[in-house]
Amino acid sequence: MKQAVNISNRLKLIADWIPQGAQFVDIGSDHAYLPCYVCSKDLDASAIAGEVKEGPFKSAERTVKRLGLNHAVTVRLGDGFNVVVPGEVHTAVIAGMGGTLIDEILQNGQEKLNGIKRIIAQPNLNTGAVRKTLSVLGFKIIHEDMLEENGHIYEMIVADRTEEAISLDDQAAMFGPILLKHKPPIFYLKWEHEKNNLERVVKQMEHAKKPNIEKIAQFKKDIAWIEEVLRDE
């Protein structure tokens, strides 16, 4: 009898947006929990779990073997999209890392993106950079969601390949074009916290011997945007 696969709520949020019967890659797979969860529930799905370091790679292999899912989940060692060949998968998941790293993985993996129809990203921070890059690479954000888990607020972005011209301004990139429209309660919680942090940083920078005027101006602009968005219910 196969063991049940239990995953965190933030990973379940992602799993809900992986299409039925998907061939997908999970980059930075964290023990291959997400691929195993999806493939244990959807018998038509198959997954590649990508890991860049030997330790996590071996750990993911053990998870797949323990759960008896070797027929559906393949674990590969490699950096970013180097674990797949063009056209091998149609959905890509990149989660559990900073937005700057996700942005770098997307930029470096452009030649592998031709067959990708959906990208699901869940950055730990700097989500704006990911939104910008997705739009530049021809992906339209169709869904966004947020949740809090273990004291951290996560944002999830679901973006589908499109032939449309995508235009995403700086404010939409920062807050999320769909989150800006719906603004769940956790949206206010996150951005109130961000505003307080930025105000504290600006105060410290203004008291420095050589204040970075340009950086202070950018932070003040961000604070003004946050205040505007929080006011506009």
pLDDT in tens, 72-124: 999 999 999 999 999 999 999 999 999 999 999 999 999 999 899 999 999 99
pLDDT in tens, 77-90: 999 999 999 999 99
208 and 144 part of one domain: no
For residue 40, how many C-alpha atoms fall within 13 Å in the half-sphere facing its CB? 20
With CA atoms as reference, report the closest residue to 131 among 176, 76, 178. 176
Could you tell me the residue range of the domain that residue 212 belongs to? 186-231
Number of domains in the chain: 2
Residue 67 domain-assigned (yes or no) = yes
Q: Is the pLDDT of residue 200 over 80?
A: yes
The residue ranges of DSSP E strands in the chain, in sequence order, are: 23-27, 46-51, 73-77, 91-95, 118-122, 139-149, 152-161
86 and 59 part of one domain: yes
197 and 148 part of one domain: no
Q: Is the pLDDT of residue 128 over 80?
A: yes
Residue 40 domain-assigned (yes or no) = yes
92 and 38 part of one domain: yes
Residue 173 domain-assigned (yes or no) = no
pLDDT in tens, 33-58: 999 999 999 999 999 999 999 999 99
18 and 96 part of one domain: yes
35 and 142 part of one domain: yes
Residue 87 domain-assigned (yes or no) = yes
CATH number for 141: 3.40.50.150
0.85 exceeded by the pTM? yes
- Mean pLDDT, the chain, whole residue set: 94
Residue 134 domain-assigned (yes or no) = yes
Q: Distance (Å, rounded) from C-alpha 57 to C-alpha 28? A: 9
Q: What is the pLDDT of residue 209?
A: 84
Q: What is the pLDDT of residue 81?
A: 97
